[in-house]
Amino acid sequence: MAVAEHGGFEWRRLSQLRPGDWLVLSAGRWLGKERALKPFRLAQRKTGSGRFERKPIRLPDTLTEELAELLGLYMGDGTNSRWGIRFIGNREEIDRVRYLARECFGVEPTVCRHRSIWEAAVLRLDLKEWWEAQGFTKKSSLEAFVPDAVLQGPESCAQAFVRGLFAADGCARTSGHITLATSSANLVRQIPIVLFHLGVPCRILALSRKEGGHQISVCSKRGFETFRRDIGFGLRSKDDRLAAIAPYQIFVRGERVPNQKEPLQNWYAGLGSEDRRLAKLTLRGAMWMRRYELSRHHIGVLHAQGLQLTTAIEDSLSPASGRKGIS
């Protein structure tokens, strides 16, 4: 992530970096606090025979976590209707939409089923006009975006928006990787920055499918644990899958530290018998094939025994000099 010409942050590939570019190493804490939404007043409507009677609906004047999550679901699986807004998904997603709509607007959405696809619609003209006035309306999935109200709102609302978006278009793979697929260039630009500020680093991959699009993947164990603890999916099926993943089983490919074979052998040769036993157990638990992948726990154990290293030690420790190696 680099500081762009306009002063904001943007993701750049290594090939795009130039001498003098400033890189963002830490985003600090989330600074947004604004909950107040744009003032909105319903226009006076003519009444009379033959005219459509508008049904009442509660329109909030502040951004809540429920509204932010509903916005995330809308940007992922929502569409515009002549009379309001609609959501498409499976039954679990639609049940979540129903709950959020009741919390936000005090209405029960109209729900219908088309084979295996469910749809929930909040059909109120007042809501449609209010939605547009707040800057929430997207023209299509290609132009989905993070609303300014979310970017300027408190951290809990940003987390809720990401939760809704990942509930709609994200998944937790059995490998433990949390991913989001999107065809929106706006989201590809905005979501990694939002996640970065929320303590969740990620990377962007271009999808090879015919229709194009990108995949945003959460990376690092800390990012995974932060996402699981503070954000989640808001859907039981996905959250249960996320909870079942053991963090130490993912993101095991650490940074390779070169030229560590001889220093490690010398360090090991100088240990006492008990320290050697502990070192063996520590490194054996961190070894995969011929590469030693050290978790934060393993590194802490080795640091306590006087060995300084970063994240990984490569190659076998069986020395040719006749010293006792670590098997």
Q: What fold characterizes domain 2-26+59-248?
A: Endonuclease I-creI (3.10.28)
* pLDDT value, residue 306: 53
Is it the case that residue 39 has pLDDT exceeding 60? yes
Is it the case that residue 277 has pLDDT exceeding 60? yes
Q: Please state the domain extents for the chain.
A: 2-26+59-248, 261-314
Calculate the average pLDDT of the chain.
83
Query: Could you read off the pLDDT of 296-313 as tens digits, one per residue?
Result: 455 555 555 555 444 334
Q: 49 exposed, middle or buried (CB, 10 Å; 0-12, 13-18, 19+)?
A: exposed
CA atoms within 13 A of residue 151's CA, in its CB half-sphere: 13
More confident residue, 318 or 155: 155
What's the average model confidence in pLDDT over 197-219? Answer: 89
Percent of the chain with pLDDT over 70: 80
Percent of the chain with pLDDT over 90: 52
> Which pLDDT band, with edges at 50, 70 and 90, does 160 fall under?
very high
* pLDDT value, residue 211: 78
Is it the case that residue 194 has pLDDT exceeding 60? yes
* pLDDT value, residue 156: 97
Query: Could you read off the pLDDT of 211-259 as tens digits, one per residue?
Result: 789 999 998 888 999 999 999 999 999 999 999 988 777 766 555 666 7
Whole-prediction pTM: 0.74
> Which pLDDT band, with edges at 50, 70 and 90, does 274 fall under?
confident
Is it the case that residue 131 has pLDDT exceeding 60? yes
What's the average model confidence in pLDDT over 141-159? Answer: 97
Out of 1-10, 39-48, 68-77, 165-174, the most confident range is: 68-77
